[in-house]
């Protein structure tokens, strides 16, 4: 029977599995030594095999032999999405196609997709990274794990699938969609673990409730989330209503897919980076220079043993800070704060920077609202106008225009206090905002230049 995990200080971490204690719990010195040895090899590999890197490094006057310390990574060129898109589909591949055993592609919502290819060795690394994060959440060979991501080109489906199998868990490859069937399968097969985007998990929860399914007595124990950021309010709501423990992981197609870092149960707002496979930097998004230790900046990742497509210093555009003290869960691998904002999803409203995650946080703290929201920005009247659509919970409805408009004014005030921009708040019926199986679309920018 499912039940949410107790607070971190009441968890006996010695009872939770650690997939690779030799690496995950080793000293910081040893991790850095592993990283340096791999970085030297990886840079030489990229230079020798990928013309794009050879040209950039030659332009910068840096040779593989110049990489002698981890700090020397700063001498290397950055890679961004554009590089991968310009070389579509296979221009960045470092091995003959016969050595590629699987390919994936990003969703391609903004132009051509990013195509990535994996060698057999890459698949080993990937499934190992997933095995680590699944065990952080307590998954073992006894678990029955139901997939609610789509399989297909998206890295989430197969990536998680292989990692769960690696620890001997049983995969139930249901795939995305058909929510009633998901609930039926949980019931019929005794599913213990659900893999889903957080917004789809909430949808499954709501549909189950509407069907009269009793989540409290379900076999479901946990959710492994990914595919989109999971705001704390949404996670808490799902944990409470489905009686499960939920963790989420971080990753991106360009450097591997899911599994770059994963949440342990000691720090629920952070994720352990698989540092023996990924060298991380945190830089000022404007200058590209490193920020101070523990400061917020843009995450830059260099996969350290990627054979299919080596990627040096990938600009994730994700904002985070990294902590390196040991963790109560027993792991010593660095923890990145969960990504709540991207440098490029920042909205500029009448000159003020606004992040959707700020709106998310304010909404999560208002009891009378569901965690769903949508931001619409337009400039029909000449000035930027930000409208935040929020869903009232049925029990929060009052039969009085006065009270309802007072309530929407309160929501607007709370948003203004955080955003420093006064939004228009639009109350929407319960269930009125779209739920999606994929990435939830929270922002619609309708501004025109004219």
Partner 1 sequence: MAITQISVFVESRPGHLVRTLSVFSEAGINVRGFSAGDTGEYGIVRFIVDKPDQALALLAERGAAARASEVLCVRLADEPGALRHVMEACSEAGINIVYCYSLASTFIALSVKDIASAERALAGADIELVDQAELARSLAGVAL
Residue from 167, 176, 345, 329 nearest 262 by CA: 329
Shortest separation between residue 245's beta carbon and partner 1, angstroms = 26
End-to-end CA distance of the chain: 58
Shortest separation between residue 376's beta carbon and partner 1, angstroms = 12
**443 pairs with which residues across the strands?**
375
Told to check if 240 binds partner 1 by CB under 8 A, we report no
**Residue ranges of the alpha helices (H) in 306-384?**
356-364
Single out the segment in contact with partner 1 by CB under 8 A; choices: 34-42, 175-183, 287-295, 396-404: 396-404
Instruction: Extract the tokens encoding 67.
Output: 């990489």
Toward partner 1, which CB reaches closer, 185 or 404? 404
Told to check if 290 binds partner 1 by CB under 8 A, we report no
Cα–Cα dist 168/141, whole Å = 4
Q: Residues 323, 337: contact at Cβ < 8 Å?
A: yes
Q: In 10 A of CB 249, how many CB atoms?
A: 30
Toward partner 1, which CB reaches closer, 181 or 393? 393
Toward partner 1, which CB reaches closer, 47 or 407? 407
Told to check if 82 binds partner 1 by CB under 8 A, we report no
Eight-class DSSP state of 373:
E
Q: Residues 426, 390: contact at Cβ < 8 Å?
A: yes
Q: Residues 426, 399: contact at Cβ < 8 Å?
A: no
Told to check if 380 binds partner 1 by CB under 8 A, we report no
Rule CB under 8 A: which of 176-215 touch partner 1? 210
Shortest separation between residue 351's beta carbon and partner 1, angstroms = 27
- 309: CB partners within 8 A, 6+ apart: 92, 93, 94, 116, 117
Report the SS3 class of residue 331. coil
Shortest separation between residue 347's beta carbon and partner 1, angstroms = 22
Please give the sequence-ordered ranges of beta strands (E in DSSP) within 209-308, or none if there are none: 222-225, 245-252, 257-262, 270-273, 278-283, 297-303
Toward partner 1, which CB reaches closer, 112 or 393? 393
Told to check if 110 binds partner 1 by CB under 8 A, we report no
Toward partner 1, which CB reaches closer, 20 or 433? 433
Phi then psi for residue 402, to 5 deg, are -60, -50
Preceding peptide of 89 cis, ω within 30°: yes
Shortest separation between residue 208's beta carbon and partner 1, angstroms = 13
Cα–Cα dist 306/278, whole Å = 9
Shortest separation between residue 421's beta carbon and partner 1, angstroms = 19
Single out the segment in contact with partner 1 by CB under 8 A; choices: 71-79, 260-268, 395-403, 409-417: 395-403
Angle between helices 356-364 and 232-242 (to 10 degrees): 40
Toward partner 1, which CB reaches closer, 296 or 428? 428
Single out the segment in contact with partner 1 by CB under 8 A; choices: 44-52, 253-261, 329-337, 420-428: 420-428
Residue from 369, 378, 373 nearest 410 by CA: 369
Toward partner 1, which CB reaches closer, 28 or 426? 426
Q: In 10 A of CB 443, how many CB atoms?
A: 15
Single out the segment in contact with partner 1 by CB under 8 A; choices: 69-77, 179-187, 261-269, 398-406: 398-406
Told to check if 410 binds partner 1 by CB under 8 A, we report no
Q: Of the candidates 399, 417, 448, 450, which one interacts with partner 1 according to CB under 8 A?
A: 399
> Pattern of binders to partner 1 over 421-440, x per CB under 8 A?
-----xxxxxxx--------
Tallying the residues shown for the chain, one arrives at 450
Toward partner 1, which CB reaches closer, 16 or 392? 392
Shortest separation between residue 235's beta carbon and partner 1, angstroms = 22
Toward partner 1, which CB reaches closer, 3 or 210? 210
Shortest separation between residue 232's beta carbon and partner 1, angstroms = 24
Binding residues (CB under 8 A) for partner 1: these are: 210, 392-394, 396-401, 404-405, 426-432
């Amino acid at each position: 029977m499912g039940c949410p995990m107790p607070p971190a200080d009441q968890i006996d971490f010695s009872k939770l599995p650690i997939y690779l204690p030799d690496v995950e719990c080793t000293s910081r010195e040893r991790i850095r030594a592993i990283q340096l040895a791999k970085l030297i090899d990886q840079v030489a590999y990229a230079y020798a095999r990928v013309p794009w890197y050879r040209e950039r490094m030659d332009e910068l006057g840096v040779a593989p032999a110049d990489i002698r310390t981890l700090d020397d990574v700063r001498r290397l060129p950055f890679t961004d999405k554009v590089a991968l898109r310009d070389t579509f589909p296979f221009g960045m591949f470092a091995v003959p196609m016969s050595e590629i055993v699987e390919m994936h592609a990003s969703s391609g919502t903004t132009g051509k997709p990013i195509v990535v290819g994996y060698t057999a060795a890459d698949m080993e690394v990937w499934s190992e990274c997933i095995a680590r994060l699944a065990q952080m959440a307590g998954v073992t060979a006894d678990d029955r794990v139901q997939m609610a991501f789509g399989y297909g080109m998206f890295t989430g489906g197969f990536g998680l699938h292989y990692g769960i199998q690696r620890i001997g868990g049983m995969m139930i490859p249901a795939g995305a969609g058909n929510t009633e069937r998901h609930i039926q399968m949980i019931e019929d097969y005794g599913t213990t673990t659900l893999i889903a985007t957080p917004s789809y998990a909430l949808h499954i929860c709501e549909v189950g409730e509407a069907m009269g399914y009793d989540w409290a007595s379900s076999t479901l124990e946990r959710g492994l989330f990914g595919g989109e950021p999971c705001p704390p309010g949404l996670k808490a709501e799902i944990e409470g209503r489905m009686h499960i423990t939920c963790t989420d992981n971080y990753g991106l197609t360009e450097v591997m897919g899911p599994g770059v870092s994963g949440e342990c149960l000691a720090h629920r707002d952070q994720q352990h980076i698989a540092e023996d496979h990924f060298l991380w930097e945190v830089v000022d998004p404007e200058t590209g220079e490193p920020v101070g230790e523990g400061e917020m900046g843009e995450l830059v990742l260099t996969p350290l043993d990627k054979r299919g497509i080596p990627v040096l210093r990938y600009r994730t555009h994700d904002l985070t800070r990294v902590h390196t003290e040991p963790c109560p869960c027993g792991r010593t691998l660095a923890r990145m704060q969960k990504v709540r904002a991207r440098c490029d999803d920042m909205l500029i409203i009448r000159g003020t920077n606004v992040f959707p995650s700020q709106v998310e946080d304010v909404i999560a703290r208002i009891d009378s609202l569901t965690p769903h929201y949508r931001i619409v920005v337009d400039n029909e009247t000449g000035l930027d106008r930000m409208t935040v659509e929020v869903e009232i919970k049925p029990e929060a409805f009052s039969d009085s225009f006065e009270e309802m408009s007072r309530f929407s004014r309160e929501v607007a005030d709370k948003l203004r206090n955080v955003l420093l921009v006064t939004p228009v708040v639009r109350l929407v019926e319960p269930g009125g905002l779209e739920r999606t199986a994929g990435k939830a679309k929270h922002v619609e920018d309708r501004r025109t230049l004219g």
